């Protein structure tokens, strides 16, 4: 083979080798870009996964906190029901005592009246008119005293009966989860940051927890609130976002 032929062969081999090197380089860059793309996708996926896990953790903590709040509210409600039951039992006992005492006084009055009639119809042997009159006066004074005591006891009985009915009505409303018909109050304060309001009615008016109430102003619906805490004369309620028609203000009317 001539020297020229050999040079041609070497030149061709060099070109082929260069081409293979270039092709391999292109392949390497392509693989690198593919790996970088895969890594970027994995990074985005991991970031989303971390965010999802964090959200699930937050939701779980909120659910656990809500469960604790509901458990406390249930415990408070049970305690209040037991207190009302005890108060109602005590009220019934006092009512029975008053009724028994009233019956005794009524019988005593009847006996005194019988004695008065007896002395009025005939004088006992050996008793003078003055003695009879003195005895009659004594009986009349006792009769008057007993009548006054009977009146007081009747008034106490009526009061106890009214208190008993009020306690029974409150217990019934709590069991059925409703408020007295026509119950109306007004907003005392508004906390926009924590989304709750303070209302000027409480347990004395029959307010109970976990019951929704309507908020209005000049006859227009402003929204709804849900009772969360009850004190004797005031209560606290959370604003229900899905019913909000406007900004709740102090003085707005709240009704059941």
Answer yes or no: is 36 within a domain: no
Please give the pLDDT value at position 253: 96
Task: Note down the domain range covering 206.
Answer: 184-255
Whether residues 160 and 201 fall in one domain: no
SS3 call for 235: strand
- Rounded to the nearest integer, the mean pLDDT of the chain is 78
Last residue of a domain, one of 176, 211, 240: 176
CATH number assigned to the domain comprising residue 238: 2.40.10
- 219's tokens: 């006859």
Determine, yes or no, domain membership for 82. no
Report, as an integer, the average pLDDT of 17-21. 57
The segment with the largest mean pLDDT, out of 16-25, 69-78, 91-100, 184-193, is 184-193
Best CA proximity match to 217, nearest among 235, 195, 231, 197:
197
Report if residue 230 sits inside a domain. yes
pLDDT at 184 over 60: yes
**pLDDT, mean of residues 27-54:** 70
Domain count, the chain: 2
Average pLDDT of 41-59? 72
Q: Verify that 150 and 195 share a domain, yes or no.
A: no
**CB proximity list for 221: less than 8 A, separation 6 or greater:** 214, 215, 245
Confidence of residue 34 (pLDDT cuts 50, 70, 90): confident
Query: Which pLDDT does position 201 carry in this prediction?
Result: 94
- 167 and 104 together in one domain: yes
Listing DSSP states for 157-226 in one string gives HHHHHHHHHHHHHHHHHHHHT---TT-EEEEEEEETTTTEEEES--GGGT--TT-EEEEEETTEEEEEEE
107, part of any domain: yes
* 72, part of any domain: no
Check whether residue 125 and residue 144 sit in a common domain: yes
pLDDT value at 16 more than 60? no
- Indicate whether 123 belongs to any domain: yes
Work out the pLDDT band at 20, boundaries 50, 70, 90.
Answer: low
**Domain-located, residue 168:** yes
- DSSP H stretches of helix in the chain: 3-121, 129-176
C-alpha to C-alpha distance for 31 and 34, rounded to whole angstroms: 5
Q: pLDDT tens digit string along 89-142?
A: 887 888 888 888 888 888 877 887 777 666 666 656 666 667 767 777 887 888
Please name which of 215, 219, 187 lies closest in space to residue 200, comparing C-alpha atoms: 187
| Residue 6 is assigned to a structural domain of this protein | no
Identify whether residues 142 and 103 lie together within a single domain: yes
* 224: CB partners within 8 A, 6+ apart: 212, 213, 214, 215, 239, 240, 243
Indicate if 198 and 219 belong to the same structural domain.
yes
Instruction: Look at residue 54 in the predicted model and tell me its pLDDT.
Output: 73
What are 189-239's pLDDT values in tens digits? 999 999 999 999 998 888 888 889 999 999 899 999 999 999 989 999 999
102 and 126 in a single domain? The answer is: yes
When comparing pLDDT for 60 and 247, which is higher? 247
Last residue of a domain, one of 121, 143, 176: 176
- Residues 110, 164, single domain; the answer is yes
| 196 and 137 within one domain | no
Residue with tokens 């003695």: 131
Least confident span in 10-14, 33-37, 227-231: 10-14
169 and 111 within one domain? yes
Domain end residue (candidates: 152, 176, 200) = 176
């Amino acid at each position: 083979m001539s020297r020229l032929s050999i040079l041609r062969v070497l030149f061709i081999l060099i070109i082929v080798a260069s081409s293979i090197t270039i092709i391999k380089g292109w392949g390497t860059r392509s693989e690198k870009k593919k790996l970088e793309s895969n890594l970027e996708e994995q990074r985005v996926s991991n970031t989303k996964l971390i965010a999802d896990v964090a959200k699930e953790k937050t939701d779980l903590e909120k659910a656990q906190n809500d469960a604790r709040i509901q458990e406390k509210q249930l415990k408070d409600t049970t305690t209040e029901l037991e207190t009302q039951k005890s108060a109602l039992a005590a009220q019934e006992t006092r009512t029975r005592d008053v009724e028994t005492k009233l019956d005794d006084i009524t019988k005593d009055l009847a006996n005194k009246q019988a004695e008065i009639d007896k002395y009025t119809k005939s004088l006992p042997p050996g008793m003078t008119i003055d003695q009879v009159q003195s005895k009659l006066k004594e009986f009349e004074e006792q009769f008057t005293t007993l009548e006054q005591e009977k009146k007081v006891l009747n008034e106490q009985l009526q009061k106890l009966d009214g208190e008993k009915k009020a306690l029974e009505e409150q217990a019934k409303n709590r069991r059925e989860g409703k408020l007295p018909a026509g119950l109306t109050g007004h907003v005392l304060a508004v906390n926009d940051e924590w989304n709750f309001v303070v209302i000027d009615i409480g347990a004395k008016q029959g307010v109970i927890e976990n019951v929704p109430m309507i908020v209005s102003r000049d006859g227009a619906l402003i929204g709804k609130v849900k009772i969360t805490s009850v004190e004797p004369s005031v209560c606290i309620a959370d604003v229900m976002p899905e019913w909000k028609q406007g900004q709740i203000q102090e003085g707005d009317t709240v009704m059941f």
